[in-house]
Amino acid sequence: MLTLKAPAKINWFLDVFGKRDDGYHDIVSIMQRVTLYDSLTFEHSDQIEVLSDANIPLRENLVYRAAALMKGRTRHASGARITLKKETPMAAGLGGGSSDAACTLDGLNMLWNLNLSRQELAVIGQDLGSDVPFFFHGPAAVVEGRGEVVSPMRLDSVCTLLLVKPPIAVSTAWAYTQADTMGRKVLTKNDNFIKLFRQALEDRDFSLLSTMQKNSLETPVIGRYPVVGEIKRALTQKGAVFSSMSGSGPTVFGVFLSEEEAGKAAGHMSSHWCKVVKTMGRDE
């Protein structure tokens, strides 16, 4: 029996560009893992079995899809029983499903003694979702292309975050089709922008980060779901020094100077799902 943890992620910024010939959008983002985890347990079995406390149809469950893909690609003879315990909310912009998929590939690689490299696993993972390759290269990275181009980034500074998710679901496909892509490519494709953003994170220069913050999906999501904008404003009013929507939302994260301040802010957000977490450093 093998048990692994699958961490969630945030997007410090996310720029969405034009649609590609394969139907995906080009992006540039800085992603970082956070201390919010799903748990996956792997056991030997004759077939692929997935036991979960999440109400997800089996054929749509990324854990099942990852296991079936891994078995098919490697032609492994036996199966596995995988038990998934969810802590990361679904459809939240926190990469929970993608992390579970990556963790499944990693776990089966160990359980079945396949000895695949992390790069080989990432290549398999990109067929499951755009965020999956990141989880083989974290804890922080610049992510480009459709998500398959991952450049690991060293970030030593640890931040305390309050994650807040309202009880709504945002369609990722819809959000991407709504993204305004005009006038962005020149700015964030520039290596100097990436270096400046990273340095601001390391220096905890949240005033500068606030001026650089962007998420191409945030404006259309707030336009359709005003509660996301209300959460951003509330976090700032309760002491967050920086806030942004993660991914396609609807989760918003606020950066706080202490766990105590983040906890107090969470007390004012009781109508939503909330979690105080920390960003993960390079050795985690």
Contacts 24+ apart (CB under 8 A), 43-46: 43/1, 43/2, 43/80, 43/81, 43/82, 43/83, 43/111, 44/78, 44/79, 44/80, 44/81, 44/111, 45/78, 45/79, 45/80, 45/81, 46/78, 46/79
CA distances from 139 to 150, 204, 229, 238, 281 (A): 11, 18, 28, 28, 6
Q: Would you state the pLDDT for residue 190?
A: 66
145/195 Cα distance (integer angstroms): 18
Q: Could you tell me the two tokens for 26?
A: 């080009």
The torsion region of residue 276 among left (phi > 0), alpha (psi -120 to 50) and beta comes to beta
What are the phi and psi torsion angles at 58 (to 5°)?
-55, -45
CATH of the domain spanning 2-152 = 3.30.230.10
pLDDT in tens, the chain (284 residues): 999 999 999 999 998 887 778 878 889 999 999 999 999 999 999 999 999 988 888 778 999 999 999 999 999 999 999 999 999 999 999 999 999 999 999 999 999 999 999 999 999 999 999 999 999 997 999 999 989 999 999 888 899 999 999 999 999 888 988 875 444 444 455 678 888 998 999 999 999 998 988 899 999 999 999 999 999 999 999 999 999 999 999 999 999 999 999 999 999 998 999 999 999 986 55
CA-closest candidate to residue 265, choices 197, 164, 151: 164
**Residue 10 burial class via C-beta count within 10 angstroms: exposed 0-12, middle 13-18, buried 19 and up:** buried
Catalytic residue among 15, 86, 131, 165: 131
52/58 Cα distance (integer angstroms): 10
Options 3.40.1390.10, 2.60.40.1170, 3.30.70.890, 2.60.40.1230; CATH of 160-278:
3.30.70.890
Domain with CATH 3.30.230.10 in the chain: 2-152
Q: Respond yes or no: is residue 9 known to be catalytic.
A: yes
Cβ-contact 140, 225 below 8 angstroms: no
Q: Would you state the pLDDT for residue 188?
A: 53
Q: Would you state the pLDDT for residue 186?
A: 46
276/260 Cα distance (integer angstroms): 10
Q: Would you state the pLDDT for residue 182?
A: 45
Q: Respond yes or no: is residue 131 known to be catalytic.
A: yes
Q: Would you state the pLDDT for residue 55?
A: 81
Domain with CATH 3.30.70.890 in the chain: 160-278
Q: Which amino acid is at 2?
A: L
CA distances from 277 to 48, 60, 169, 254 (A): 33, 28, 22, 10
Radius of gyration of the chain (CA): 19
